[in-house]
Structure 1
Amino acid sequence: MLELMKTKFYKYQGAGNDFVILDNRDEHFDGDNVELVASICDRRFGVGADGMMLLQSHPEHDFVMRYFNADGREASMCGNGGRCIVAFARKLGLIHNKTRFLAVDGIHEAVIDDNDLVNLKMQNVPEVENGEDYFFLDTGSPHYVRFADDVDAIDVVKEGRKIRNSQRFAAEGTNVNFVQLRDNGIKVYTYERGVEDETLACGTGITASALCAAIKTGKNEGYFPVEAKGGQLEVAFKRTENQFTEIWLKGPATFVFDGTIAID
């Protein structure tokens, strides 16, 4: 009887956006095995998560972040995932409270503050498409943003899936965000491609929504407090017309539990 390979995993969540993370510095885990990654993310037959990350070594940076959607495919940048893997890197002793790491969209900086909130610097956004009733932009992942008077009245899965599978986006997919302006910030609900469902929070989506709120309200710099279904986050930025720099995503990144996976 063949003995199954066992590997340790760590479960983290950032505002309800949950991830399985593996320390893969020795590259023992095959991230190219789509079915395996998907099975680990399966909420009924696996550990269960919105996505999975591998922390790997790099000769010039503190580490490399590889991110996979719940469908098992390697994906574009995940903001909450980025914050969680920074917290994980500190748990491993790789970093203290500051880091520079490499992700699919380039180098990111991050700082863990005195309240253990992780501040992740996002890539600059050089342009935002301003449509008749929507915005479209890339904050490390593509995001469609639509404002509404009451996001609680929207069927996020139904409407999000319709936009994600529309003729324009069907081939590559897009994430879809519904945003409500409030006196003290914004409220954001997100349908995520790859998960193909609503998630409790989406870091790149919350970032995209805050930048679009800045355009909509004429705000040139500062920050927006953001309410997602999974908790509170914050996005800071500087704006010149439809271009953004100094974008920081701030929020909790919490260790939940760890365990061992048996792999065929």
Structure 2
Amino acid sequence: MLEFYKYHGTGNDFVMIDNRTEFFQKDNKELVAFLCHRRFGIGGDGLILLENAEGYDFKMVYYNADGSESTMCGNGGRCLVAFAKQLNIIEDKCRFIAIDGEHLATVATDGTVSLKMIDVSGIKIEDKHSFLNTGSPHHVQVVRNIGSYDVFNIGKDIRESELYAPGGTNVNFVEQEGPNHFRIRTFERGVEDETLSCGTGATAVAISMYAQNKCDSNTIQIDVEGGSLNVSFETEDNISFKNVWLSGPAKLVFGGEIEI
């Protein structure tokens, strides 16, 4: 029997496992995919292991829903911080290590979790899209009528296109809602579908829109299908971005045991 917890950050949901004793079968892709399956397992956009790491409060190990180990997940990182607080590993701030390096995080009294993302540079701005890495690779494309946009099919085509071979990319479609306020929908690789929220995607959109002078504040609201996130950063040249923070809710859904 495997003890687990389920968390979500604006609808981006994750299976959480306390793996500080290193019991979990980390090379078993089929097990991860089973646990993330929404009909036969627990259900989630990904699975996250909380592990010990010397010099840090904990380590984050993230798997996609298909069982493959993934790059950084912003909402997953925020949810893991909330999980660490539930386990009494941390109080209201922490420092942890993930696949893309060191992260800082804070937990506010209202439950908002703010996560410091990696510094971002090397943004590629093309005529119809931009591309950048915010811990995971992201294609950003401005569209109209985003509510009725065919995110699945168009996103899948871009994700699998020659432009991003062989590894593929996450794909974000964005529409401006107001000054420093955008709505996005994201097709995530690994999940291979649209998700209700993507933290690294929200971060990528905020930075990309600022770099293209579509907003004038370094604090930007990003509406996702599952709620709202905020992204803040510092920049002096619109090319390099540092002190990047992603903030929003991270909530426990339920916990239990499952036979494996």
TM-score, length of structure 1 as denominator length: 0.95
1:191 to 187, 190, 206: 187
- Hey, what does 2:234 align to over in structure 1? 238
Structure 1 segments unaligned to the other structure (5+ residues): 1-5
Alignment of 1:119-134 (within 5 A): 119-134=114-129
Measure the CA separation in 2 of the matches of 1:105 and 1:189: 24
Measure the CA separation in 1 of the matches of 2:216 and 2:183: 20
Deviation of 1:173 after TM superposition, in Å, equals 1.2
Q: Alpha-carbon deviations, 1:76-131, whole Å to 9, x = none?
A: 00000000000000000000000000000000000111211000000000220001
Q: Alpha-carbon deviations, 1:134-161, whole Å to 9, x = none?
A: 0000000000000113212310001100
Deviation of 1:214 after TM superposition, in Å, equals 0.6
Q: Alpha-carbon deviations, 1:30-65, whole Å to 9, x = none?
A: 121111100110111111100000000011100000
Structure 2 segments unaligned to the other structure (5+ residues): none
Whether 1:34 aligns to 2:9 is no
- Hey, what does 2:219 align to over in structure 1? 223
Count of paired positions: 258
Out of 212-221 and 201-210, give the one that drifted further.
Answer: 212-221
Distance 1:168 1:218, change over 3 A: closer
Measure the CA separation in 2 of the matches of 1:67 and 1:43: 18
- Hey, what does 2:94 align to over in structure 1? 99
- Hey, what does 1:262 align to over in structure 2? 259
Deviation of 1:14 after TM superposition, in Å, equals 0.2
Deviation of 1:241 after TM superposition, in Å, equals 2.2
Measure the CA separation in 2 of the matches of 1:221 and 1:237: 9
- Hey, what does 1:145 align to over in structure 2? 140
Deviation of 1:197 after TM superposition, in Å, equals 0.1
- Hey, what does 2:199 align to over in structure 1? 203
Measure the CA separation in 1 of the matches of 2:218 and 2:170: 25
Q: Give yes or no for contact 2:210–2:218 (8 Å, CA) kept in 1.
A: no
**Structure 2 counterpart SS, 1:173:** coil
Q: Which amino acid aligns with 1:238?
A: E
Measure the CA separation in 1 of the matches of 2:242 and 2:182: 20
Alignment of 1:37-186 (within 5 A): 37-184=32-179, 185-186=181-182
Q: Give yes or no for contact 2:47–2:65 (8 Å, CA) kept in 1.
A: yes
Measure the CA separation in 1 of the matches of 2:216 and 2:223: 21
Measure the CA separation in 2 of the matches of 1:172 and 1:36: 23
Q: Which amino acid aligns with 1:52?
A: L
Measure the CA separation in 1 of the matches of 2:196 and 2:216: 28
**Structure 2 counterpart SS, 1:61:** coil
Q: Give yes or no for contact 1:221–1:237 (8 Å, CA) kept in 2.
A: no
Out of 212-221 and 58-67, give the one that drifted further.
Answer: 212-221
TM-score, length of structure 2 as denominator length: 0.97
Measure the CA separation in 2 of the matches of 1:169 and 1:130: 15
Q: Give yes or no for contact 1:221–1:238 (8 Å, CA) kept in 2.
A: no
Measure the CA separation in 2 of the matches of 1:128 and 1:210: 12
Measure the CA separation in 2 of the matches of 1:226 and 1:114: 22
